[in-house]
Amino acid sequence: MTRRGAFVVVEGLDRSGKTTQTGILRQRIQEAGKEVFCVKFPVAEVAVDRSTPIGKMIDAYLRSQSDLDDHVVHLLFSANRWELALVLYSRINHTSDFDDRTISDCFIAWFNLQHALIHVTTRLISSTIISSLEQGKIVLCDRYAFSGIAFSVAKSLPSQSSPSTTSQTPGKLPPISLHWARAPDAALPSPDLTLFLDVSPEIALTRGGYGEERYEKADMQKRVRSVFQEIGGEVTADAGQGKWIVVDAGKEMSAVTEEMWGHVQTLLDGINGSIGRLWD
């Protein structure tokens, strides 16, 4: 059996240097003569000529231009991952059975009817991530389902500055549990390696641009960090979910790069086993 490419995810708190480090890794992988396919979630644009309907909704929410229930936001982020799988699948295969209209209709149906998910799941089997891995490419992903869980669950945790309150939208909906948050991403390809860039909210606060978006508040980031730690523990305990490595992103940028590169280098020659699935 030919070796497949490795699926590497970079996760982290806001301002942990994730996007910069992912860019450097991409360059290093290419310099090492390997093909790399990069993805960033949330995806506002899947291709230069088109922005996705769901990507736009997320963008408006993050910029506080709209308010949505926390559960809805969580599902939008997950839909954004499914959206990429489906749109790129149809492009790569030049299938004519999807156009912009049917793609949006498909996701509206998914929100309304649970069983629509099954169709999307079937499509995913030939998704971009999987086909890239099968072609031996390294897939490098800036945020993935772990961010989805960490940020959504963190919103339901009590605030550390005023423990009796959460940032949950007022109303009767239950808080978002880890169990609930995992469900929409079940069966997506699972990474072989997740590099979690850990930085204290205090250090993040000193970094440029911090505070511009909705979640960039020290209290929220502390809660996100604690959920990420819990997820890391779960991933580590489950052999089928790949490796979870905590990288101290508070140190010198080049030292962070070298540590990350050390882990990625071990995967450049590919992997023998089949591609795992999240939460299987």
Residues that bind ligand FDM (CB under 6 A): 14, 41-42, 62, 77, 143, 147-148, 151, 213, 215
d(CA 106, CA 150): 27
Least distance to ligand FDM, CB of residue 14, Å = 5
Closer residue to ligand FDM, CB minimum distance, 24 or 62 = 62
Query: What phi and psi, each to the nearest 5 degrees, are found at residue 158?
Result: -65, 145
User: Does residue 196 sit in helix, strand or coil?
Assistant: strand
What is the torsional sign of CA 147, 149, 151, 157?
A: negative
**Rg (alpha carbons) of the chain, rounded to whole number:** 18
Residue type, 87: V
Least distance to ligand FDM, CB of residue 40, Å = 7
Closer residue to ligand FDM, CB minimum distance, 3 or 207 = 207
Closer residue to ligand FDM, CB minimum distance, 213 or 234 = 213
Least distance to ligand FDM, CB of residue 54, Å = 11
Closer residue to ligand FDM, CB minimum distance, 13 or 275 = 13
Give helix 70-92 / helix 53-62 axis angle, nearest 10°.
Answer: 150
Least distance to ligand FDM, CB of residue 228, Å = 11
d(CA 171, CA 11): 31
Closer residue to ligand FDM, CB minimum distance, 147 or 156 = 147
Cβ contacts of residue 122 below 8 Å, gap of 6+?
Answer: none
Cβ contacts of residue 119 below 8 Å, gap of 6+?
Answer: 106
d(CA 90, CA 93): 5
Least distance to ligand FDM, CB of residue 41, Å = 4
Least distance to ligand FDM, CB of residue 148, Å = 3
Closer residue to ligand FDM, CB minimum distance, 34 or 79 = 79
